[in-house]
């Protein structure tokens, strides 16, 4: 982790945040919900809620994507930002909305049975048909 918090934002800047510590590296999720909300597949890291500071949330909206989870997005520019279990202590943060340098790396793929038919997973990283014990 960097000496300073890693910052991030949506495309329009309506949502800005800081992360003081990450709980894990980046994992690529190929589940249908991630593909539908991001337009490809989701690549996210995770932080404890206490380590995620929202500096501006004027355009942040939450969508209940299932009975157990919700997704945070900007209601002005549409950026997919967060995923969190309802009542959980961690929030997943889409890696693409973080400002460099992050010090993070992509380490695995999950829910690969749902992967789109237009790409191949051939980067040599571990690939799990399910959540791989990560979620």
Per the CB < 8 A criterion, the answer to whether 107 and 26 are in contact is yes
The C-alpha atoms of residue 84 and residue 132 are separated, in whole angstroms, by 17
Domain with residues 6-113, CATH architecture: Beta Complex (2.170)
Per-residue pLDDT tens, the chain, 135 aa: give them.
457 899 999 999 999 999 999 999 999 999 999 999 999 999 999 999 999 999 999 999 999 999 999 999 999 999 999 999 999 999 999 999 999 999 999 999 999 999 999 999 999 999 999 998 876
Classified as helix, coil or strand, 119 is: coil
CA 116 to chain centre: 18
Parse the chain into domains and list their residue ranges.
Answer: 6-113
Distances (CA, A) of 102 to 7, 113, 115, 127: 9, 29, 26, 23
Classified as helix, coil or strand, 95 is: helix
Cross-strand partners of 59: none
């Amino acid at each position: 982790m960097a000496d300073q918090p890693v910052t991030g934002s949506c495309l329009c800047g309506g949502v800005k945040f800081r992360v003081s510590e990450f709980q894990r590296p980046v994992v690529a999720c190929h589940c249908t919900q991630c593909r539908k909300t991001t337009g490809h597949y989701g690549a996210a890291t995770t932080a404890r809620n206490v380590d995620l500071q929202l500096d501006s949330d004027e355009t942040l909206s939450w969508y209940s994507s299932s009975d157990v989870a919700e997704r945070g997005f900007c209601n002005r520019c549409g950026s997919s930002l967060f995923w969190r279990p309802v009542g959980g202590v961690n929030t997943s943060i889409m890696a693409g909305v973080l400002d460099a340098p992050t010090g993070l790396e992509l380490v695995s793929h999950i829910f690969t049975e749902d992967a789109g038919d237009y790409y191949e997973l051939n980067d040599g990283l571990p690939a799990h048909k399910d959540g791989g014990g990560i979620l």
